[in-house]
Amino acid sequence: MADFSGCIILSLIWLVSLILARSILRRSKRTSYFPPSPMALPIIGHLHLLAPIPHQALHKLSIRYGPLIHFRLGSVPCVAVCSADVAKDFLKTHETSILNRPFLINVDYITYGSADFLFAPYGPYWKFMKKICMTQLLGGQTLNQFLPIRSEEIRRFIRYVLKKAKASEEVDVGGQLIRLTNDVVTRMTMNYRCSDNEEEADEMRKVVSAATELTGKFNLADYIWFCKFLDLQGFGKRLKETLEKFDEMMERIIKEHQEARKINEEAGNDYAPKDLLDILLDISEDESSEIKLSRENIKSFIADMFAAGSDTPAITIEWALAQLINHPDVMKKAREEIDSVVGKSRLVEESDIVNLPYLQAIVKEVLRLHPTPMAVRESTESFTINGYEIPAKTRVFINVWAICRDPKYWENPFEFCPERFIGEDGKSQLDVRGQHYHYIPFGSGRRVCPGTTLALLMVQTTLAAMIQCFDWKVNGGDGTVDMEEAVGITLPRAHSLVCVPITMLDPFPSL
């Protein structure tokens, strides 16, 4: 009997040991599936490690933990991709698993419940809008139609700077570039110029600026579960006020367009679309359209245009001028190229850019050093990369800023050197449209930025005109510009660039 009892006890011990061993083995295996991770804190996870500037902090962590890092923002599982090789695995091999954007409370509210294009989930609506963007809204024919608008607004900007140069006065370069890009976008989208009515213009800029700022703000409610129903940062009131103002502005402009369209229709006139809003209204009224656009879809697409089409090009040009001031030899070489192709009797035009490879190289180098720092996706299914498991519902941060500094692909990656983009044939090399995974300033794959062509046209032509017409000096210090970055989804400068322009053309071309 004793022997029998002993056998039972031994069997129980063996069974418990087996269960514990299997549990430990399962846990160790599961842990080993995830990429390397720093030590997390309770509740906040790794939030404390991302200060003060997230893309720089993740780059520093990648030096210690490798190019693929697993971390938690509160209760949200995340991975950071900090090298070109790993980025290719995500953006090419497993692209279909990360085609969604994560749900963010502020963005969802500002875009009428994710009714826009940029943040919409991947699906029939997103595919339809992508096709419309590439063929109608931002296609070559439409952009050519708006060439006179871009040319006129750049000339208006140059006239303003010339006035300041003659008076030897400083120019708030960042502020004036935002005005320029805002005017281009509002005229392209709604046939409306912000600067016609200064009071109304200021109100529109404030609304657009507030909306852009709020979409980029870090909201604790997105990451910490018990904050979901608490407005600890006071975003609720600001979101409501901003959307109400934007909605009121858009409703007024849409009604004006609809009245003009009705008058033309009753008069029997052929009404060719004058702006992007007209194109969107045409699509929404087309009974045969495969997707019916709602009023919210239209308004949120216009919001996308403001957010992506105004802020980013202006910031890129501002970074470019800052780099040129700090590298006068590059500025001189660019001006000599422009003078040899364009001359000094007329202003540089968009059609000249194809013959200015060094200018193109400068812009590419600026986009390498100062891109939109991170592309954010969310996995829709589990998959494995380099032996590591990436579960569904994981937030994926593609650290474009770090990838464009990957020393495996870039010699002296932190130095400003446009010559790296000039080939032996003297032409500008390396496309910006996401085909080379060590250089993805506009993203890559299906969710690559649809406004790439428009952004390049604005940045290259405006910068060329600024180089051709003026030299730029900063007052005080040693005459150089600091390169400190601020927190923001579009990589703004920490300090606005303020310069004194000096006229380089005499006589000045007719504007």
User: pLDDT of 151-170, one tens digit each?
Assistant: 999 999 999 999 999 999 99
Residues of the binding site: 449
Mean pLDDT of 18-34: 51
The three-class DSSP label of residue 126 is helix
Contact call for residues 105 and 227 (beta carbons, < 8 A):
no
pLDDT band at 271 (very low <50, low <70, confident <90, very high): low
pLDDT band at 8 (very low <50, low <70, confident <90, very high): very low
Cα distance between residue 375 and residue 440, in whole Å: 10
The three-class DSSP label of residue 122 is coil
**pLDDT for position 212:** 82
Lowest mean pLDDT among 104-118, 173-187, 421-435, 452-466: 421-435
**pLDDT for position 12:** 46
pLDDT, averaged across the chain: 90
Residue 398: is its pLDDT beyond 90? yes
Residue 454: is its pLDDT beyond 90? yes
For CA atoms 36, 37, 39, 41, give the dihedral sign.
Answer: negative
Cα distance between residue 86 and residue 478, in whole Å: 41
**pLDDT for position 57:** 97
Mean pLDDT of 10-37: 55
Contact call for residues 60 and 42 (beta carbons, < 8 A):
no
Cα distance between residue 502 and residue 231, in whole Å: 49
Cα distance between residue 206 and residue 489, in whole Å: 18
Percent with pLDDT over 90 in the chain: 76
Residues of the binding site for heme: 449
**pLDDT for position 193:** 64
Choose among 501, 463, 471: nearest CA to 163. 501
Percent with pLDDT over 70 in the chain: 92
Mean pLDDT of 237-258: 94
Q: How many CA atoms lie within 13 A of 326 on its CB side?
A: 16
CA angle (303 as vertex; 200, 123 as ends), nearest 5: 165
**pLDDT for position 307:** 83
**pLDDT for position 247:** 95
66 vs 270: which has the higher pLDDT:
66
pLDDT band at 215 (very low <50, low <70, confident <90, very high): confident
φ, ψ dihedrals at 28, nearest 5°? -70, -35
Residue 389: is its pLDDT beyond 50? yes
**pLDDT for position 9:** 44
Mean pLDDT of 78-101: 97
Choose among 110, 104, 100: nearest CA to 304. 110
pLDDT band at 272 (very low <50, low <70, confident <90, very high): low
**pLDDT for position 74:** 94
Cα distance between residue 453 and residue 463, in whole Å: 15
Residue 269: is its pLDDT beyond 90? no
Contact call for residues 82 and 399 (beta carbons, < 8 A):
yes
**pLDDT for position 430:** 86
Cα distance between residue 278 and residue 189, in whole Å: 8
Q: Angle formed by the axes of helices 147-166 and 452-469, to 10°? A: 30
β-strands 498-503, 374-378 pairing: unpaired
Question: Residue with structure tokens 């089409």?
Answer: 309
What is the 3 state secondary structure string of 234-265? Answer: CHHHHHHHHHHHHHHHHHHHHHHHHHHHHHHH
Q: Which fold has domain 47-503?
A: Cytochrome p450 (1.10.630)
22: its two tokens: 């299997």
pLDDT band at 476 (very low <50, low <70, confident <90, very high): confident
**How far is C-alpha 283 from the geometric centre of its chain's CA atoms?**
26
Cis-peptide, bond into residue 52, ω within 30° of zero: yes
Mean pLDDT of 44-69: 95
What secondary structure letter does DSSP report for 234?
-
What secondary structure letter does DSSP report for 300?
H
**pLDDT for position 311:** 87
What secondary structure letter does DSSP report for 433?
S
- What Å distances lie between residue 450 and 268, 282, 368, CA to CA? 35, 20, 19
The residues, any chain, with a CB within 8 Å of residue 56's CB and separated by 6 or more, are: 401, 485
**pLDDT for position 195:** 53
Residue 349: is its pLDDT beyond 60? yes
- The β-bridge partners of 396 are 79, 377
